[in-house]
Copies of this chain bind each other. A is one copy, B any other.
Amino acid sequence: MSTINESPRIAVYGLGAMGLDIIRILHGRRANIVAGIVRPGSDKDGRILGELAGVPGLAFPARGDAEQALREAAPDIVVVTVSTYLDDTQYEIFSTAVKAGANVITLAEEMLYPFATDSRLARELDALAKRHEVTVTGTGHQDAYWVNLISVLAGSTHDLGGVTGRLSWNVDDFGRALAEQQRVNATVEEFAQWQADAERLPTFTYYSLYALAAAIGLTPHGSPECTTEPVIAQRDTYSKALGSTVGQGRLLGYTDTDTLHTKEGVTLSVSSQGTVYEEGETDFNEWNMTDGSGNPTLHLRNSDLKTAHTTCATLVNRIPDVIAARPGIVTVDELPQLRYRPGLHVS
């Protein structure tokens, strides 16, 4: 918990597509960017931050020596956009920021609700953040479109039986690593083999279902059921992320479906389709609610979404909430209602 009456000092850790878009948004809001950090050995180490992001000013170099850079810059909050899961590497990054006395806000999908699994690292990070009296929060597109809009919508219903989401996102928006993870250009046989062999980590929606349950005030009952179906190219389709064409009959990506039951009898389910888009396709989120008898009640659709950009904008709008929150890991269901921030001032 902090009370800061001026513009907070912000560091950005991770200078890939997302980190740089966040820097551009922060720069547009005249935010106080005090450091850009990359992993040691990155080819961006030492390059000028403003040049990397394509904005004027920010005439200082990206740093590979996180600990030293954080000590010198003394940020109020560190934006972390490095990877998805709370693994040892990610823990190391978060704990370096926490030990430097900074709050952490991250796009790491697991951090949206790290208590969804029995995560030792989440418990340790929570204790560490409490000890250093700072907050650690995961946010992003999910915060608005998979959790809080849906919880507000459910607040207008009487008899809630089920919530079903259908999401579509473009693999090409997120670069090569994600395209490979999403099995783009695999054959059906390769995909089947991968599915048989894979020890897959939980999906992004796995965490979001727990955050949604928490936001609505529901108690999970058992673990989510998870299924995966391939999405096959009907014609040759160019993938920007791979820099090559996905042949007809090969995978554009796949659809994951997670279903979480709750003690209150409400079933929460999300199907997330991540594929290389064909011409004219755009991101959407579609949510349907049913009553206790399965009859449709409420419907919400966001179309023409720019998921990558809303991810970054949501994170920026959440910065004051995270700085003001109690110490420890604080999930988005606990934060005040998400809102637009013409400025980033915290009080």
Contacts and interface: CB of A to CB of B under 8 A. Distances in A.
Contact of A313 (B148, B156, B215): B156
Interface of chain A: mostly helix, strand, loop or mixed: mixed
A310 B160 CA distance: 12
Interface string A330-347: 000000111111100000
B156 A217 contact: no
A28 interface: yes
Contacts of A216: 339-340
A148 B158 contact: no
Interface in A123-180: 141, 143-145, 148-149, 151-160
Contacts of A25: 158
Interface residues of A, number: 51
A338 B149 contact: no
Interface stretch (A52-60, A229-237, A247-255, A299-307): A299-307
A144 B156 CA distance: 6
Given A300-B301, A301-B300, A302-B300, A338 B158 contact: no
B310 A156 contact: yes
A317 interface: yes
Contacts of A157: 310, 313, 317, 340
Interface in A264-317: 264, 266, 296-306, 309-310, 312-314, 316-317
B310 A303 contact: no
Given A298-B302, A337-B337, A342 B264 contact: yes
Contacts of A48: none
Copy number in this complex?
2
Nearest to A154: B340
A324 interface: no
B217 A341 contact: yes
Interface of A: 25, 28-29, 141, 143-145, 148-149, 151-160, 215-218, 264, 266, 296-306, 309-310, 312-314, 316-318, 336-342
29 contacts: A28-B159, A141-B156, A144-B153, A144-B155, A148-B337, A149-B149, A149-B153, A151-B339, A152-B152, A152-B337, A154-B339, A155-B314, A155-B318, A155-B339, A156-B313, A156-B314, A157-B340, A215-B337, A217-B339, A217-B342, A218-B342, A297-B306, A298-B302, A299-B302, A299-B304, A300-B300, A300-B302, A301-B301, A336-B337
